[in-house]
A = this chain, B = another copy of it.
Amino acid sequence: MAVYTKVSSEALAAFLTRYDVGHLVSAKGIAEGVENSNYLVETTGSDGRGARFILTLYEKRVELADLPFFLGLTSHLADKGLPVPAPITDKDGTALQRLEGRPACLIEFLPGVSVTDVTPALAKRAGAALAELHLGAADFTGTRPNSLSLAGWEDLAAACAGHLQEIDPSLPALVEDELKWQRSHRPDDIPVGIVHADLFPDNVLVLEGEISGLIDFYFACTDRLAYDLAVTHASWAFDDEGGWRGEDVSTALLDGYRQHRALSEAEEAAFNGLARGAALRFLLTRAYDWINTPPDAMVTRKDPMAFARRLIHYRSA
């Protein structure tokens, strides 16, 4: 939620000459993207009628080696007609550049506003879009291990050890018990593919009731497809505090997905355990950030307990 690297007007104007996008008209740093610097850039456009782009500068927490995967994937999905922001290539066909000493990419601007009011109708469309994303990525050849799967959860839990009780006295036992359960319940008989892994409502753009954008692919990786649906369920079916939004949103999301990609019996059987894992993953990353962010820092700490409540919901389901 910040602009870490400042781009001078002159450097940006020079950078844009690599592309067939016309001249720089305006650039505003935008408060989007947890770990990168983003600018909304306006140019005169290749046809003089104006064009807009997102310029992303990748900050230190993004692995340079992962960028070709992210850019290749979004390019692949956009080529298939999915509402995914495509990397723009320069006149030489190159997408990944350097600017102000950082890896940088000019990216398609998609209209629409982030979902803030989750309705069954939008949840159904989100489920459908996730299924189409899975199908569209099926022939993408890149792979990226999920560093936030079971081994990552174990590492995070170890890093938080001794501090979880500062967040809530119930947390150490909940995390330990759930990790133990997850270790012995990994479903290895279900389809694996490319997953978004972070399709929260704020990563879905909507324009006039239709989904106009699926954004923020920087957690995308190779994992169980049904786990991605579980992550999406854990983010859409509960409110910001972790309260259940209602059966109608939950059912609409799952139905929307199933109408475009049928879940196998094994996936249906594994779903609740995967949702428990999804809740644990966000509980642990939030707990880690909570413990390692000073309370007076100028960033909003997201409450880990909102995902503890989801985990408890799934465990009792």
CB within 8 Å of B: which residues of A?
Answer: 1-3, 8-10, 12-13, 23-32, 40, 42, 111-117, 205-208, 294, 296-299
Contact = CB atoms under 8 A, between A and B. Distances in A.
Given A1-B2, A3-B31, A28-B28, 18 more contacts: A1-B29, A2-B31, A9-B113, A9-B117, A9-B206, A10-B117, A13-B113, A25-B111, A26-B207, A27-B113, A28-B31, A28-B40, A29-B30, A29-B32, A30-B40, A42-B111, A298-B298, A298-B299
A15 to B, nearest CB: 12
Contacts of A13: 113
A252 to B, nearest CB: 18
A208 B23 contact: yes
A146 B28 CA distance: 29
A8 B117 CA distance: 8
B23 A116 contact: no
Contacts of A112: 25-26
B111 A9 contact: no
Given A29-B31, A298-B298, A116 B1 contact: no
Contacts of A299: 298
Contact of A297 (B23, B30, B42, B297): B297
B296 A10 contact: no
Nearest to A30: B28
Contact of A31 (B23, B24, B30): B30
A186 to B, nearest CB: 37
Given A294-B296, A298-B2, A298-B299, A28 B23 contact: no
A12 B13 CA distance: 32
A42 B28 CA distance: 13
A116 B9 CA distance: 6
Contacts of A111: 25-26, 42
